[in-house]
A and B are shown apart, each in its own frame.
Chain A
Amino acid sequence: MTARSKFTPSCPMPTFDHDMVVLGHGSGGLLTYRLLDQFIFKALHDDAERPAHDGAFLDVSGEMAFTTDSFVVDPIFFPGGNIGDLAINGTVNDLAMCGAIPQTLSLSFILEEGLLMKEFWEILQSIKQACEAAEVKIVTGDTKVVEKGKGDRIFINTTGLGKVHPKANIDSSNIQPGDRVIVSGPLATHGIAILSVREGLSFETNLETDSTSLHDIVLPLLDKYGSDVHLLRDPTRGGVASTLNEICRSSKVGIRLVESALPIENEVKGACEMLGLDPLYVANEGIFLAIVKEQQAESMVQFLRKHDKGRRAVVIGQVTEDDAGRVVLNAAIGGKRVVHMLTGEQLPRIC
């Protein structure tokens, strides 16, 4: 399987007078106008919806969630996706983790001159599809161009606004000793899929990123279980280990993980062994952690498993009074170890 085989553009690329991005596309003049009008808007908006102003007018009431994220992934195309859908799903998921219904997004590009238009088009198509899947609208944005060597082909920033679900009460202060930690799917798939195509490291695998929007599994969970869902987090950079450490520090509780319960695909396990990486620290894009009321945990797992994105949901640990501020793992062979926060970048061991 190649890096782009999954993707089939829904619209052909329009005829455009450049085959790559040039500095003038960020000048604010005619080239910028054409790039927006004939390329970006054409990809993302129906004619009636094209933005006419620099800003958007929104009718907002009630409790809202607001989040922003920037995307600099390398390489920009990888098995199962690209930087475009990642940028949409990432912000949609940050809203979902606040217990919010994603509604509107802003979308900003920093393009490096020389980026091929056909690559940019492919990214825009992924963005459009991800927005449709997540039922969100892009209402404002920006495009800048930097000189060759001053960027890495394309950086994307998205900011999102969503309405908080009426039954949601997501707050780390709700966490109690005894609460269970649920993970919605297998760990480390996204990070290993990216590494498998990185220059100087490529290895053969069928793994694809797990990047997906999670609001459509999280919102029904909140509908049914409401405030028994105490906290939601998507363990992206730094992996499950770093996210759980953050939770322990902010809530002043301990978390006890059970190594033998961690869902990890065999192929991911094998790659981690080979590369000297710990799957607990590898990035994820399509799973979430839920800290939930003990009595409801098993019922929630069964509920999540009925959803396509939660088929492998499982309880991986529990909140404890002991070891406050720390994540401790019961090793599969019976020992214990502290699972620290990621230090710097996870560097491979050499022997």
Chain B
Amino acid sequence: MKYLEEYRDRALVEKYLDKIHHTVTKPWNIMEICGGQTHSLVKNGIVEMLPHKVKMIHGPGCPVCVTPVHLIDHAIALSHEDQVILCSFGDMLRVPGSSGSLLEAKAQGADVRIMYSPLDALQLARKHPEKEVVFFAVGFETTAPAIALSVIRAAHAHIENYSLLTSHVLVPPAVKAILEEDDHVINALLAAGHVCTIMGLEEYYPLSGTYQIPIVATGFEPVDLVQGILMAVVQLEKGIAQVENQYARMVQREGNRIAQDVINSVFQVTDQHWRGIGKIPSSGLMLRDTFAQHDAQRKFALQSHPPLKDTGDCIAGLVLKGVKKPMDCPMFGHTCTPENPLGAPMVSSEGACAAYYHFSGFSESLAE
């Protein structure tokens, strides 16, 4: 697998790790924003190989983790309607709403299907004109272009029984919200390489300047991650704060203009509630009025709830902001596990709590 194996090269990883060990003199907290990066750090055992002075903080970049409870409740309610086929990406099925999950709805007889692409859901709508196919569209800037494309195609082909329940969120406003918090402990950021591939780097220059924080657009393979961490550590040790691009084989400063145009033609920016964090201004995407007939919220007259309180005592919000570690939660690993998640970050393999769960009990040094 060309372009993958090269970035899993042990010798190269060791070379960068060695440089990190030689460069670091002070303790630093580096937040990797994207859940995909968290997953790779865990899967490859990278956290354990870093110097103790370099602490990775797992950011809010797990889309299923930040999807608000009331939207999951909407999805579950819709799935129980006789005529509805509710389609979703796999991870979303296990996330608990205020009562139950989509997986439980499926077990109760609701027609819930896992899709890899919104275009497959569109195909399903074409095949079943007697049904209403609702795609639960969850994700960041990375999944938005394909979702937008499915709506454009539905409109073009007059497939009226296809609609979206959207919970699309934008990364830079969330980063800004976290950096605005007085109690944040973050010294540098690894920006999500795939998001930057679509959106480019422009949005990160003002963030880096205003908050005097190094930001490195970073990929997902082991070599990418250790190189990105090294670039951040070098900046921190030098006392500078710049935007750098580790993932140059994919990311260009202006991003992918065609994908951006597709997103902009279908969606407009709106305020968005992030589960565990709260409302963040201009941090979400909603369908434009011209596509209202494909908006499940409007089509099925779903009440736009005020943000509900998140489940019980879950400290997901503090974890997602990097203020607390998953192990600081009294429920972690006891009443809250991947088999029985009480909060969303325990569900997805990209969620911070699940990532820590997979470390815990193995050796104390890993879980610190």
Q: Is B142 among interface residues, defined by CB-CB distance under 8 A? A: yes
Contacts of A200 in B (CB 8 A): 113-116, 120, 124
Chain A residue nearest to B42 (CB atoms) is A337
Contact of A269 among B1, B44, B94 (CB under 8 A): B1
Binds A, one of B8-16, B75-83, B149-157, B318-326: B8-16
Contacts of A333 in B (CB 8 A): 8-10, 13, 44-46, 222
Q: State whether A351 touches B94 (Cβ < 8 A).
A: no
- The answer to whether A336 and B48 touch (CB under 8 A), given A347-B93, A347-B94, is yes
Interface residue tally on A, bucketed by range: 20 to 34
Binds B, one of A14-22, A56-64, A323-331: A323-331
A184 vs B359: C-alpha distance when bound (angstroms): 29
Q: Is A29 among interface residues, defined by CB-CB distance under 8 A? A: no
Chain B residue nearest to A326 (CB atoms) is B362
Contacts of A351 in B (CB 8 A): 34-36, 63, 139-140, 142-143, 194, 350
Q: Is B90 among interface residues, defined by CB-CB distance under 8 A? A: yes
Contacts of A326 in B (CB 8 A): 361-362
Binds B, one of A84-92, A306-314, A338-346: A338-346
Interface of B: prevailing SS: helix
Q: Is A334 among interface residues, defined by CB-CB distance under 8 A? A: yes
- Nearest Cβ on chain B to A197's Cβ, whole angstroms: 14
Q: Which residues in window 240-275 of A have CB below 8 A to B?
A: 266, 269-270, 273, 275
- Nearest Cβ on chain B to A25's Cβ, whole angstroms: 27
Contact of A340 among B89, B124, B358 (CB under 8 A): B358
Q: State whether A275 touches B116 (Cβ < 8 A).
A: yes
Q: Is B339 among interface residues, defined by CB-CB distance under 8 A? A: yes
Chain B residue nearest to A341 (CB atoms) is B339
Contacts of B113 in A (CB 8 A): 200
Q: State whether B8 touches A338 (Cβ < 8 A).
A: no
Interface of A: prevailing SS: loop
Contacts of A328 in B (CB 8 A): 362
Contacts of A347 in B (CB 8 A): 90-91, 93-94, 114
Q: State whether A350 touches B361 (Cβ < 8 A).
A: no
Q: State whether A350 touches B359 (Cβ < 8 A).
A: no
Q: Is B338 among interface residues, defined by CB-CB distance under 8 A? A: yes
Contacts of A53 in B (CB 8 A): none
- Nearest Cβ on chain B to A188's Cβ, whole angstroms: 15
Q: State whether A337 touches B45 (Cβ < 8 A).
A: yes
- The answer to whether A270 and B1 touch (CB under 8 A), given A344-B339, A348-B114, is yes
Q: State whether B13 touches A334 (Cβ < 8 A).
A: yes
How many of B's residues come within 8 Å of A, CB to CB?
50
Q: State whether A331 touches B138 (Cβ < 8 A).
A: no
Contact of B4 among A273, A276, A336, A350 (CB under 8 A): A273
Q: Is A55 among interface residues, defined by CB-CB distance under 8 A? A: no
Contacts of A335 in B (CB 8 A): 44-49
- The answer to whether A349 and B348 touch (CB under 8 A), given A334-B45, A335-B48, is yes
Contacts of A337 in B (CB 8 A): 42-45, 358-359, 362
Contacts of A201 in B (CB 8 A): 116, 120
Q: Is B64 among interface residues, defined by CB-CB distance under 8 A? A: yes
Q: Which residues in window 217-258 of B have CB below 8 A to A?
A: 222
Contact of A350 among B91, B124, B358 (CB under 8 A): B91
Contacts of B115 in A (CB 8 A): 200
- Nearest Cβ on chain B to A178's Cβ, whole angstroms: 21
Q: State whether B39 touches A338 (Cβ < 8 A).
A: no
A332 vs B96: C-alpha distance when bound (angstroms): 35
- The answer to whether A343 and B339 touch (CB under 8 A), given A332-B8, A350-B63, A351-B142, is yes
Q: Is B71 among interface residues, defined by CB-CB distance under 8 A? A: no
Contacts of B44 in A (CB 8 A): 331-333, 335, 337
Contacts of A276 in B (CB 8 A): 90
Contacts of B45 in A (CB 8 A): 331, 333-337
Contacts of B103 in A (CB 8 A): 344
Q: Is B161 among interface residues, defined by CB-CB distance under 8 A? A: no
* A-B residue pairs in contact (CB < 8 Å), sample of 11: A200-B120, A273-B1, A333-B45, A336-B362, A337-B42, A337-B358, A338-B361, A340-B358, A348-B116, A349-B91, A351-B63
Residues of B within 8 A of A (CB): 1, 4, 8-10, 13-14, 34-36, 39, 42-49, 63-64, 89-94, 103, 113-116, 120, 124, 138-140, 142-143, 194, 222, 338-339, 348-350, 358-359, 361-362
Given contacts A344-B94, A349-B39, A349-B91, 10 further A-B contacts (CB under 8 A): A200-B124, A270-B1, A335-B47, A340-B358, A344-B339, A347-B90, A347-B93, A347-B114, A349-B36, A349-B349
The 5 A-B pairs with the shortest beta carbon distances in the complex, nearest first, are: A335-B45, A347-B90, A350-B89, A348-B90, A343-B338
